[in-house]
Amino acid sequence: MESSVYTCAVVPCDSYEDSAAVLARALSAIGGLDFVAPGMRIVIKANLVAPLKPEAAATTHPALVAALTKMLVERGASVTVGDSPGGFFTPAALAANYAATGMTEAEKAGAKLNKNTAYHTAHIEGRAMRELTYTDYLDDCDAIIDFAKLKSHGMVGMSAAVKNMYGVIPGLIKPETHYLYPDVNDFADMLVDINEHFKPRLSLIDAVIGMEGNGPTAGTPRKIGAVIAAKTPYEADAAAARLIGLDPAGVPTLEAARRRGLCSGRIEDVSLYGDVSAIALSDFKTVPRKSISFYKGTLIGKFVEKALVQKPMPKKKKCVACRKCMNICPAKAITMATRGKYTYPHIDRKKCIRCFCCQEFCPKAAMVVHRSPIVRLLQKK
C-alpha cells in the first residue's frame, strides 16, 4: 500500500475503550505500518517509568500497547515490549513493572515482554553524546516504535516522544547521565542524539489521559483526549506541545531538533491529519519555559534566572524518609535532616543540577516542582 501524504495524525479519543479504533485510524492516516513485513522483529518502546497502575496516567496505557501489538502480529511481525524503568534493571523489577502497568495485556495480544537486563556502551556520533550505555534487547530488533505518554516534566517541560527514548538507558545509569548533562540545553541535545542514533520508525503518543502538574510520575491525571501518530518524534512532539499549550520555542527538545534542521518545531509546518486546535487545552498545568537569553551573562540575567528557575522542594508532611531521593541524586546534593518530629531531605542548592530525578522517582509524591511566585504569575498570564 502506498504511504499517505500525511506525516502526523492527531485523532480525538474520548476513552481507552475506543483507543484501538482510534489508533488504527491514526496509523492508517500516515501509512504508519507500511514498513512492516512478515518476519520483522519490532520493539515497542513504551513509557514504563515506574510500577504504577494505568489509572495513574504515568505510563503508556496497556489498551493501546495491546492494540498496536495485535496489528503488528497480524502483519506477521514478532513483537517485544520493553523499557528500562527508573531504579534497578533486574528481572524481578521488570516483572513487577509489567504487572503493575498492565503490560500483560500486550503479552496476551502476542507480544513478548523483555526480560533481558544486559546492557553495554557504544560510541555514537552525537552532538552532545559520544558514548551511550543502552539496553541490549534493542539490538535484537529490526525496528523500534516509540510509544510515549504525554506528561508534564520539570526539566524539559513535557515528556513525550523525544524524552521517551531516554528509557533506552538502564535505570541506575540514568542519574549518572543526568549528572553529565546538567544544563537543560545539553540534556536536550543528548536526547536528540539518542533519537538520531536509534531512529525509531514510528512515534506514537498516548494523550488520551495525560499527566499535568507534578509530572512525570506524581502529577494529576488529565483528560487530553487524543492519540498522536507521526513519522518522526519531532513531529509527534510538535503536535503534543500544541495540544497542551506549550510554545515549541520553549520546549528544549524541539529547540535542539530545530537547531539541527530536523524540524521547525511548528505544527503549522507538519503535514497533519486532524485538527489539533479543535482539541488543544488552554489550561494544562505545566510551566512554560521563558527564554532569558537576551540578558544572559549580565547581572540582570542572573537575577531573572534565579527568579524564574524551577527547583525540587520536599513536602515534609508527606515524606516517609525512605532516602530514595538521596540515593538516586546524581549530584549528591541531598542529605537527610531532622527538625522536630520530621526527618526529610535537605537539598544543597549549590550542588543541585535541577535534573528532578528526586521528584520523578519519589514513591510518595513528597518531592514537588517548586515554582517561584513570578513563574506562577507568568503561567496565569
Q: What is the DSSP string of 160-172?
A: SHHHHGGGGS-GG
Residue 122, beta-bridge partner list: 132
CATH topology of domain 293-380: Alpha-Beta Plaits (3.30.70)
**Which pLDDT score, from 0 to 100, does residue 291 have?**
41
**Which pLDDT score, from 0 to 100, does residue 377 have?**
53
CA distance 343 to 317: 9
Q: Pairing mode, if any, of strands 202-212 and 143-153?
A: parallel
Q: Give the sign of the dihedral formed by CA 71, CA 74, CA 75, CA 77.
A: positive
Run of H or E including 321: none
CA distance 213 to 227: 20
CA 341 to chain centre: 37
Closest CA to 173 of 86, 90, 96: 86
**Which pLDDT score, from 0 to 100, does residue 330 have?**
84
On the question of a common fold for 8-279 and 293-380, the answer reads no
Q: What is the DSSP string of 146-201?
A: EEEEEEEETTTEEESHHHHGGGGS-GGGHHHHHHH--SHHHHHHHHHHHHHHH--S
Write down the domain spans for the chain.
8-279, 293-380
Summarize pLDDT for 297-330 with one digit per residue, the tens: 444 445 445 555 678 888 888 899 999 999 888 8
Exposure letters 215-230 (e unless 16+ CB within 10 A, then b): bbbbbebbebbbbbbb
Under 8 Å between Cβ of 122 and 139: no
Where the chain has pLDDT below 50, the residues are 1-2, 290-301, 303-304, 375, 378-379, 381
Contacts of 164 (CB under 8 A, 6+ apart): 45, 47, 146, 147, 148, 149, 233
Closest CA to 44 of 68, 20, 73: 68
CA distance 106 to 168: 19
The residue written with cell numbers 531531605 in the block is: 345
Q: Pairing mode, if any, of strands 202-212 and 220-230?
A: antiparallel
Residue 127, beta-bridge partner list: none
**Which pLDDT score, from 0 to 100, does residue 76 have?**
98
CA distance 336 to 303: 29
The DSSP letter of residue 41 is E
Position 207: which residue type?
A
**Which pLDDT score, from 0 to 100, does residue 371 have?**
61
Under 8 Å between Cβ of 210 and 151: yes
Summarize pLDDT for 254-284 with one digit per residue, the tens: 999 999 999 998 999 999 999 999 999 999 9
CATH topology of domain 8-279: Rossmann fold (3.40.50)
